[in-house]
Every structure is written in structure tokens, then in C-alpha cells.
Amino acid sequence: MRTAVALALIVLGSVVFHLLSPWWWTPIASNWAYIDDTILITFWITGVVFAAVVLFMAYCVFRFRHREGSRAAYQPESTRLEWWLSIGTGIGVAAMLAPGLVVWHQFVTVPDDAVTVEVVGQQWQWSYRLPGADGRLGASHVAYVSPDNPLGIDPKDPHGQDDVIVQGEPLHLELGKPVKILLRSLDVVHDFYVPEFRAKMDMIPGTVTYYWFTPTRVGTFEVLCAELCGTGHSHMRGSVVVELESEHRTWLLQQKSFAQLRAPVRADAGN
């Protein structure tokens, strides 16, 4: 009896904690309300299953407790029960997967007016590349990586000459402007993660992954690497600054382009 009551109290305590918990979503800085809705659906489905299973265990512990003179019924299999369990499990899994497929479609369907920003991960720092006046990023390849070209930008591509390069400094984004994030790694697997943005994705060497979001709140947000990438993994941090259009334009004018960064190298080569 005590065991059955304890199991029932676990279910009751879990529900009360969920409803009265002071913890909830942190203030979001992006447009991922449907991701939060999907998490809530998953919580409700798994919560109902958890409560049903634990309460069923409590019932079984109480109903089939040891009593003098009672004998257990031996029933090694039940086709009817197996069908019910298979159907119920299938419906539950489908109910959790379906919203995820819808969210994934939105996650990778980039609006036409989104600005492109490339994030480059390497042990153990973040670098960023933004399009210049032509609005396009130049081509890049790991074969072009060198001390004077750490992001591997193709020096022969004219679209890359005006690309804005940001290394070791915060990334600045414009408030309310959709952003397509291109993710590239120069060495091992990294993961660009801004918790408040509700968005993260692995950065696979040799592959360019992407997603998009719209910053909806002014502020400074911490960047983390969410994939174990070596001994310096815990120190691979940065920040993203979301600001008004005028402030963002001022920041852009203060940054150097790929051509400007390579100018001293060309001058030294000429001497």
C-alpha cells in the first residue's frame, strides 16, 4: 500500500511542479514560437504517458498485492493487449513527430528578404562573414585557408573582396531583420548555439549547414558551442548583439573587408 501511494504521489508532485514551477521559457530573442509550441506538445504527450504508466504501476502494486490464499494467473501473452499497445505507441510517436516535421520545414525555409551571415567555427573561436555592398558572399574553400586568409575565402572571386570579416569580436545583427545563418567548420564538429534564439545546428567539416531566424529583442546574447570539440570546448564562447538599424549600420561601417585585411599582405609581398 505504501508503495502504491508513493507512486501516485510522484505523479501528483510532477504535475504540480510543472504547473507551479518558477522556471519557464527564458526571454526569447527570435521568432521560434512554434518551436516552443512543439516542445509543449511533447511535454503533454510524454507527461500523459508518464502519468498513465506510473498510475498503472500503482494500481497493479495495490490490486495484486500479496494476500493469503491468492494465486497468480499465468498469462504469457495477450494478442489483444499487444495490439492496443502497438496502436497506442504508434499514435503517440506520430503525434510527436508530425509537429517536428512542420517545424523543420519552417526552420530551413528562408524568407526572400533574409540577409546572409556566415558563421565559421574552429578550435576554439568563432568568426563571422557578412556580405558587402554587392549583397553576396564570395566563394570559399578549405584549400584557401592560410595565416593571411583564415576563413579560406577564394581570392579570385570578386564577390568576396568586399565581404565583411569579424574575428574574435561579437556578431552584430539588426533588430527585426530575418537572418540566414550559414554554418561552416574548419576542423572538427562544432555547434553554433544561442540559447535565447531557440536555434542550434551542427557544423560539419566539408559541409555547409544553415537555418534562419528573426531577432526580435534588443540585447546581447551569449554564443556557445553545443558539440564537444576538444580540450578548449568550454572556452569556445562569443556573443551576438541585436541592435537597431542605425546602430547596426554604424557598426558595419567600422568593420574591415576581406580586401582591406589582405592589403598589408600584398604590400609586404611587393616589398
96 and 120 fall within a common domain: no
Instruction: Provide the β-strand partners of residue 222.
Output: 239
231 and 171 fall within a common domain: yes
Measured between alpha carbons, how far is 66 from 62 in angstroms, rounded to an integer? 9
Residues of the chain with pLDDT under 50: none
CB 183 within 8 A of CB 199: no
135 and 152 fall within a common domain: yes
The reported pLDDT for the residue numbered 269 is 55
Q: How many domains does the chain have?
A: 2
Percent helix, strand, coil in the chain, to 5, is 40, 25, 35
Q: Is residue 71 part of a domain?
A: no
How is the beta sheet containing 115-122 ordered, strand by strand?
209-213, 179-185, 115-122, 125-130, 164-167, 256-257
Q: Is residue 144 part of a domain?
A: yes
Global pTM reads: 0.74
217 and 127 fall within a common domain: yes
Measured between alpha carbons, how far is 52 from 30 in angstroms, rounded to an integer? 35
CB 191 within 8 A of CB 185: no
90 and 128 fall within a common domain: no
100 and 165 fall within a common domain: no
85 and 158 fall within a common domain: no
The reported pLDDT for the residue numbered 225 is 92
Q: Is residue 74 part of a domain?
A: no
Place of cell 592589403: 263
**Domain range enclosing 9:** 2-64+79-108
Q: Is residue 72 part of a domain?
A: no
CA 243, 249, 253, 256 torsion-angle sign? positive
44 and 147 fall within a common domain: no
Measured between alpha carbons, how far is 240 from 192 in angstroms, rounded to an integer? 11
94 and 136 fall within a common domain: no
